[in-house]
Amino acid sequence: MTSRLQDELKQTRPWASVEEEASLAVARTAAVLDHELAQVFKPHGITSTQYNVLRILRGAGAEGLCRNEVGERLVRRVPDVTRLLDRMEQLGLIDRRRGGDDRRFVTTHITGKGLELLAALDDEVQQFHRQRLGHVDEASLRTLVELLEAVRSSS
């Protein structure tokens, strides 16, 4: 008997281990959620990663963050944070300011336009999460969060 994951992936052979199946189940679920969430952002002209940057900068407040701090806080790491921020600055969603004494130090801030975009997306994103996960009871979701934390902490 095949699992639902095997059916989705058209996998006819059994998994080599339950660890392999679990790893692929996490990856497949993340891919499905990422794709669907990207469809929420697409009409607004941004990517999931750009949305993540905007949320990070909104949380940072008026102080802003340097490029490295933004990169460290991203849910999904990107190889070139500078280029990501360049594109977002061109869209008018962020701005960067050089430090007073040390001109090499640049802080990144969310703009009014970026805040407006986030405000417009807040309800849509929460609705997305409720649609995709609202049918799962809270205790199960908390268990899932704990299990995923255990997986991440093993690295």
Domain membership of residue 10 (yes or no) is no
Q: How many domains does the chain have?
A: 1
Condensed to tens digits (0 to 9), the pLDDT of residues 9-63 reads 888 888 899 999 999 999 999 999 999 999 999 999 999 999 999 999 999 999 9
pLDDT at 36: 96
Residue 13 belongs to a domain: no
Domain-embedded: residue 102: yes
Task: Give the C-alpha distances (Å, rounded to integers) separating 133 from 54, 60, 76, 120.
Answer: 23, 28, 20, 21
Q: Is residue 34 part of a domain?
A: no
CATH of the domain at 66: 1.10.10.10
Q: Is residue 15 part of a domain?
A: no
- Report residue 4's pLDDT band, with 50, 70 and 90 as the boundaries: confident
Residue 57, Cβ density class (10 Å: 0-12 exposed, 13-18 middle, ≥19 buried)? buried
Summary mean pLDDT of the chain: 93
Residue span of the structural domain in which 86 resides:
44-153
Within a domain: residue 97? yes
Instruction: Note whether residue 4 is domain-resident.
Output: no
Least confident of 8-12, 84-88, 116-120: 8-12
